[in-house]
Chains A and B, each alone.
Chain A
Amino acid sequence: MKESCNGNVVKVAGLSKSYKLYDSSKDRLKEALHPFKKKYYKEFYALRDVSFELPKGQVYGIIGFNGSGKSTLLKIICGVTKPTSGEVEVWGRVSALLELGAGFNPEFTGRQNVFFSGILAGFSRSEMKLRYNDIIAFADIGDFVEQPVKSYSSGMVMRLAFSVAIHIDPDILVIDEALAVGDAKFRHKCMARIRVIKDKCTILFVSHDMSAILSLCDRALWLDRGKLVMSGEPKEIARLYTEATYEGTEKVFDRQAEPERETLTTEISKLASESTLPEEASVDSFGTGKAKIISSRLVGVNGEIKKNVFCGDQLSLIFSLQLKEGLKHPIVGFGVADRLGLMVMGFHDLISSEPELELFIPGNVIEVKYSFVWPDLNSGTYAFTVAIADGILEDHKQEHWIHEAFVVNCIREKPLHGMFGMEYSLDLHQTLKE
């Protein structure tokens, strides 16, 4: 291992990777051997001018939409592909889980593949013999080690690959969403092991699972369309990233069309100021029609539309209502359901205790606002159902009910069992024995 400089294990400077889109592979050959380097291709940038340094002994999360260049970046760091321009310096042995079972020969048994992977990484047969039992014990796939890998389930391939990757003393461990196929128990085991080995090695980790990024990583890098949008605290990046997930999804795939673009952070602030109405196109609604909910939206303190909510956020649910006939006792209510459709909470209340207000003249558009603090709910998506009714709280007729009018995304940093969190303290008391 070469001596690392300034404690960095990976240094990437001005890295670009352009895929040359050739009309045929003949053109590619002609160009590679052309004495005057004539160009035969159209360029597509998978990575554009990415620079960062990774100090030793930390866990880095890389996030980004599909096609943002994450895998290309990892492939370059692992040395599978070469960058088009820019510099990559990597100090130490890289162990990679780029794709499920990459480097395994499906015709050979688990045992043979373990040995082969080790020798490929530069170990001798006898060195691998010493590690073999540990690898098999960690993978825990039973008698399947003696079976050809082609007979494995994807979970087993992943277990074996992960086990080999961590047992060949990597200085840098690269994991590209490979853990996703493991069951909860094994994933837990992997996470625990990553926490153990991170003292000795640097870990690069690509995932779409925000809770894994938040719980595991010391720093996060956000890539979008081949550019490094930002790097820093995982918490901050996860928040901005999830916001962008809901706003910009449709733009992700037309990446070839735009040549240059400002960074996404500025776009997010732009989006926040735009007040788009929640879509109502495909929602279920019913009611007598005496009153209509024109729109309903969840806004923050500055009146910005909220798509992502955190525990403790000060929120307002605003109803825009149009009354076709006078209502005696208008009631507005809303319910919040989790992703399984289970109603987590629901409220309804009289708009006013005084029934005969000026506001309730037919044809008028009125706005009603519920203000509340977002409770400590588990991460996930929550759907708001909104309704207007007439009557008393105990018995009323629905005038307009919109089922799951819009959806918000709740982010809780610490994973939680169940639906709700609460404040608690944990104390330790020891009684000494005589």
Chain B
Amino acid sequence: MIIELRGLYRAFFEFVRLLFDRRQLIWEMARRDLVQKYVGSRVGLLWTVIHPLSLIFIFWFVFGFGLKHKPVANVPFSAWLTAGMAAWFSFSGIVAESTGVIVSNPHLIKKINFPSQILPVVKIVSSMVNHLVFLILLVILLLVNGVPITFFALQIIYYYCCLVFLALGISWLTSAINVFFRDVCQIVQLVLQIMFWATPIIWDIKIMPEKVQMFLRLNPIHYIIRGYRESFIYYRPFWLHLWGGIYFWCVTLFLLIVGALVFRRLKGHFPDVL
């Protein structure tokens, strides 16, 4: 049993180390991914601004303007909303795109000796541009509304790491299983839809009764979303949520290890199934 665990540990370590070894390839592919998305369209990279801007506008229009949502924590609803949405759309974008990433690259998997585990990482790297644009919009919104940016904003780096690791573990799992069971792609889309409404993103967790709040905190994404808001709006350090942090990392590391090992186990079958 111990030997087996040690073997798994080494397998996981080597699997992850390859990501570092092939960083140039990841970088190159992420560049290509972005170029493929935007080059050739008229306004190019401007789309990365238009998409989040329109989203923020719609949610502001419906909830802030239409339904007259009151400011949360003395911050305009739109800014408060953007902080949460920045994290959520980064996360859901990575997971949704990564799930199909093995299936959509058969020319790499079947024809050449390709380290396929880098593909979800490539998606993460290329999604950083989008995320950065989202964060810049958030900062502009805050400054326009007279909300100061403090040193707490640097916590965003920590919370973004949380986001990346959680998304990566899930992406490895779903992208590998999707090769065999194409419905996974649809299921992931559906689950993400539900999660968007079930996670306190466009509504404040405090509107729920205490019992339900306990239950909602089990959702690891909530830890990230709350973190984003605390960095920009509530100015609270992350160590205030010690148990929340421990719980989050337990879940994330578990998903990351399971995702990596399942991916590694299934990887050899990819060229035969695709």
> Could you tell me if B271 and A32 are in contact, using CB atoms closer than 8 angstroms?
no
Which of A78, A102, A108, A124 touches B32 (beta carbons < 8 Å)?
Answer: A108
> Could you tell me if B181 and A29 are in contact, using CB atoms closer than 8 angstroms?
yes
- Residues from chain B with a CB closer than 8 A to the CB of A120 are 25, 112, 114
Cα–Cα distance between A96 and B110 once the two chains are bound (Å): 13
A84 (CB) vs chain B CBs: closest residue: B268
> Could you tell me if B107 and A105 are in contact, using CB atoms closer than 8 angstroms?
yes
Say yes or no: is A52 at the interface (Cβ < 8 Å to chain B).
Answer: no
B28 (CB) vs chain A CBs: closest residue: A119
Cα–Cα distance between A112 and B35 once the two chains are bound (Å): 11
- Residues from chain A with a CB closer than 8 A to the CB of B271 are 75, 80-81
- Residues from chain A with a CB closer than 8 A to the CB of B181 are 25-26, 29
Say yes or no: is A162 at the interface (Cβ < 8 Å to chain B).
Answer: no
- Residues from chain A with a CB closer than 8 A to the CB of B180 are 25-26, 28-29, 32
Say yes or no: is B74 at the interface (Cβ < 8 Å to chain A).
Answer: no
Which of B32, B108, B265 touches A32 (beta carbons < 8 Å)?
Answer: B265
> Could you tell me if B32 and A94 are in contact, using CB atoms closer than 8 angstroms?
no
Interface residues of B in 113-127 (CB under 8 A from A): 113-114
Interface residues of A in 97-132 (CB under 8 A from B): 98-99, 102-105, 107-108, 112, 115-116, 119-120, 124-125
With A26-B181, A115-B28, A120-B25 as given contacts, are A80 and B110 in contact (CB-CB < 8 Å)?
A: yes
Which of A28, A79, A80, A94 touches B269 (beta carbons < 8 Å)?
Answer: A28
Say yes or no: is B177 at the interface (Cβ < 8 Å to chain A).
Answer: yes
> Could you tell me if A25 and B36 are in contact, using CB atoms closer than 8 angstroms?
no
- Residues from chain A with a CB closer than 8 A to the CB of B265 are 32-33
Say yes or no: is B272 at the interface (Cβ < 8 Å to chain A).
Answer: yes
> Could you tell me if B111 and A80 are in contact, using CB atoms closer than 8 angstroms?
yes
> Could you tell me if B113 and A80 are in contact, using CB atoms closer than 8 angstroms?
yes
> Could you tell me if B273 and A99 are in contact, using CB atoms closer than 8 angstroms?
no
Say yes or no: is A374 at the interface (Cβ < 8 Å to chain B).
Answer: no
Which of B36, B107, B179 touches A103 (beta carbons < 8 Å)?
Answer: B107
> Could you tell me if B273 and A105 are in contact, using CB atoms closer than 8 angstroms?
no
> Could you tell me if A103 and B24 are in contact, using CB atoms closer than 8 angstroms?
no
Say yes or no: is B262 at the interface (Cβ < 8 Å to chain A).
Answer: yes
- Residues from chain B with a CB closer than 8 A to the CB of A105 are 32, 107
With A98-B112, A103-B108, A112-B32 as given contacts, are A125 and B268 in contact (CB-CB < 8 Å)?
A: no
Q: How many A-B residue pairs have CB under 8 A?
A: 69
Question: Contact string, A52-89, partner B, CB cutoff 8 A, digits 1/0?
Answer: 00000000000000000000000100111110000000
Say yes or no: is B266 at the interface (Cβ < 8 Å to chain A).
Answer: yes
> Could you tell me if A96 and B112 are in contact, using CB atoms closer than 8 angstroms?
yes
Interface residues of B in 258-274 (CB under 8 A from A): 262, 265-266, 268-269, 271-273
Cα–Cα distance between A120 and B181 once the two chains are bound (Å): 28
Say yes or no: is A19 at the interface (Cβ < 8 Å to chain B).
Answer: yes
> Could you tell me if A116 and B32 are in contact, using CB atoms closer than 8 angstroms?
yes
B112 (CB) vs chain A CBs: closest residue: A103
- Residues from chain A with a CB closer than 8 A to the CB of B114 are 103, 120
Interface residues of B in 61-92 (CB under 8 A from A): none
Cα–Cα distance between A12 and B148 once the two chains are bound (Å): 66
With A124-B24, A125-B24 as given contacts, are A79 and B273 in contact (CB-CB < 8 Å)?
A: no
Cα–Cα distance between A103 and B269 once the two chains are bound (Å): 19
Cα–Cα distance between A108 and B272 once the two chains are bound (Å): 26
> Could you tell me if A82 and B28 are in contact, using CB atoms closer than 8 angstroms?
no
Interface residues of B in 6-55 (CB under 8 A from A): 24-25, 28-29, 32, 36
Cα–Cα distance between A262 and B268 once the two chains are bound (Å): 32
Which of A81, A107, A116 touches B28 (beta carbons < 8 Å)?
Answer: A116
Cα–Cα distance between A99 and B271 once the two chains are bound (Å): 14
Instruction: Please give the distance in Å from B109's CB to the nearest CB on chain A.
Output: 8
Instruction: Please give the distance in Å from B126's CB to the nearest CB on chain A.
Output: 15
With A28-B269, A32-B269, A108-B32 as given contacts, are A119 and B24 in contact (CB-CB < 8 Å)?
A: yes
Cα–Cα distance between A103 and B112 once the two chains are bound (Å): 6
Which of A19, A79, A107 touches B113 (beta carbons < 8 Å)?
Answer: A79
Cα–Cα distance between A108 and B39 once the two chains are bound (Å): 11
> Could you tell me if A25 and B273 are in contact, using CB atoms closer than 8 angstroms?
yes
> Could you tell me if B24 and A94 are in contact, using CB atoms closer than 8 angstroms?
no
> Could you tell me if B262 and A33 are in contact, using CB atoms closer than 8 angstroms?
yes
A94 (CB) vs chain B CBs: closest residue: B113
With A32-B269, A80-B271 as given contacts, are A98 and B111 in contact (CB-CB < 8 Å)?
A: yes
- Residues from chain B with a CB closer than 8 A to the CB of A82 are 268
Instruction: Please give the distance in Å from B102's CB to the nearest CB on chain A.
Output: 13
Cα–Cα distance between A124 and B265 once the two chains are bound (Å): 30
Instruction: Please give the distance in Å from A9's CB to the nearest CB on chain B.
Output: 16
- Residues from chain A with a CB closer than 8 A to the CB of B177 are 29
Cα–Cα distance between A107 and B180 once the two chains are bound (Å): 27
Cα–Cα distance between A355 and B223 once the two chains are bound (Å): 111
Q: 6 interchain pairs (CB within 8 A)?
A: A25-B181, A28-B269, A32-B265, A80-B113, A112-B32, A116-B28
Beyond A26-B180, A29-B180, list 11 extra A-B contacts (CB 8 Å): A20-B272, A25-B181, A32-B269, A80-B110, A80-B271, A81-B271, A102-B112, A103-B107, A103-B108, A107-B36, A120-B114
For the complex of A and B, list the 10 residue pairs with the smallest distance between their C-beta atoms, beginning with the closest. A102-B111, A29-B180, A79-B113, A103-B112, A82-B268, A25-B180, A119-B28, A81-B271, A80-B113, A119-B25
